[in-house]
Amino acid sequence: MGILKAGIVGCGGIAYQKHLPALSLLKDEVEMVYFCDIIEERAVKASKEFGIPKAKASTDYRELLKDGNIDVVYVLTPNVSHSAITCDALEAGKHVMCEKPMAASYADAKKMLDTAKKTGKKLTVGYQNRFRRDSRALFAQSRSGELGEIYFAKAHAVRRKMVPTWGVFPDKSKQGGGPLIDIGTHALDLTLWFMNNYEPYSVLGQSFQKLKDYPEGNVFGPWDPAKFETEDSAFGLIKMKNGATIFLEAAWAINMINTKEAQVTLCGTKAGAEMFGAAYRNEGYTVINKIENGIMVETRPSEGGGIFGFSGAGSGQPQDLEARQWIDAIKNNTDPLVRPEEALVVTRILEGIYESAAKNEAVYF
């Protein structure tokens, strides 16, 4: 297979911060030939900055899908539009990388998976935190059996006061929710991946909108309380079919000092693990706690070389490794690291937490 041709749907923040720079490092493997955004100026700007010399720009993604030269489509739009665009792209014979979350609802996410299976095209979801050094190391540690049976975990996605004030983040009609679906989705994805457990039984959830009228002190500048439609924090207690339990905490704004984002705590029968550090800068690390020679000890990886014997742990940024692995999966006809079946379960659980909070009762799957 020669150089892949990519179409980009959505030329906003996530495109510029993550996908376009990452793909530009793979010019010998993939070319960006078509750009689409509902704001024409953004599509044109992206095409000139990242596209091939004759790259096209449009405001209608259906026009992009008519281009028979395109092999893969990147869906980088607000959450509620993920499903429709992804399904149309798959039906048009394109492979699809869809940004997280998979969709705003379980039903929409299921349509995406069903369409991928029907068309035989590859589908993945943008959970780049799996590609962090500390994540890859803890994955190897947990899957090797060194933690034993992982029966309890905490999925951390908590910011003290970092509400995104740009784009459509506070718009519930376009995003489907706030921090739970935005950053909680990353923490939950990592947790299920480490545990290798994708069979939820029930969830008890609660969400809050307590700080919407207190915009002062926000890292990204004050928000408009009148336009803050989503929750500012949400929590879920998830019970899996085998009895394992996960506590998920997600917040854009909460009066809490010890905050973590896209990090996990694992409790196993042989050992435990907890992620620390600046994970968002790929500078996170994991502390393993266990018993050695009859006493409790804690160990953490060295700053140099591989981590816990995981080769290659010191190279590459997560978004670049994600892009490389996805393109390789298409070219070599292998499974992407993030499989849609796994992302579907994340969406199902998040929807369950929202439903439980709304009904004020547990939700059973």
The answer to whether position 218 is within a domain reads yes
**Which bin fits 320, alpha (ψ -120 to 50), beta or left (φ > 0)?**
alpha
pLDDT of residue 305: 41
Same domain, 45 and 187: no
User: Is the pLDDT confidence value at 310 over 50?
Assistant: no
Q: Which amino acid is at 279?
A: A
The answer to whether position 335 is within a domain reads no
78, 102, 127: which is the final residue of a domain? 127
d(Cα 55, Cα 50) in Å, to the nearest integer? 9
pLDDT of residue 202: 98
d(Cα 361, Cα 364) in Å, to the nearest integer? 10
d(Cα 21, Cα 8) in Å, to the nearest integer? 13
Same domain, 32 and 156: no
Same domain, 134 and 123: no
| CATH number for 244 | 3.30.360.10
Omega prior to 170 cis, within 30 of 0: no
Which band of pLDDT confidence, cut at 50, 70 and 90, is reported for residue 302?
Answer: low
The answer to whether position 168 is within a domain reads yes
Domain count, the chain: 2
pLDDT of residue 312: 39
Same domain, 117 and 201: no
Q: What confidence tens digit (pLDDT) does each residue in 225-256 have? A: 999 999 999 999 999 999 999 999 999 999 99
The answer to whether position 268 is within a domain reads yes
Same domain, 85 and 209: no
User: Is the pLDDT confidence value at 212 over 50?
Assistant: yes
| CATH number for 80 | 3.40.50.720
Same domain, 146 and 106: no
Same domain, 197 and 278: yes
The answer to whether position 148 is within a domain reads yes
Same domain, 99 and 146: no
Same domain, 178 and 314: yes
Among 238, 300, 291, 295, which residue's Cα sits nearest to residue 269?
A: 291
The answer to whether position 227 is within a domain reads yes
The answer to whether position 336 is within a domain reads no
Same domain, 170 and 316: yes
72, 105, 127: which is the final residue of a domain? 127
d(Cα 151, Cα 168) in Å, to the nearest integer? 37
d(Cα 274, Cα 179) in Å, to the nearest integer? 22
The answer to whether position 328 is within a domain reads no
Mean pLDDT across the stretch 68-89? Answer: 98
82, 104, 127: which is the final residue of a domain? 127
d(Cα 166, Cα 223) in Å, to the nearest integer? 9
Mean pLDDT across the stretch 84-110? Answer: 98
User: Is the pLDDT confidence value at 35 over 70?
Assistant: yes
CB-CB contact of 153 with 264 (8 Å): yes
Mean pLDDT across the stretch 166-193? Answer: 95
Residue 49 domain boundaries: 4-127
User: Is the pLDDT confidence value at 206 over 70?
Assistant: yes
Same domain, 230 and 170: yes
User: Rounded to 5 degrees, what angle do the CA atoms 236, 188, 94 make?
Assistant: 130
User: Is the pLDDT confidence value at 314 over 70?
Assistant: no
Same domain, 164 and 289: yes
pLDDT of residue 281: 87
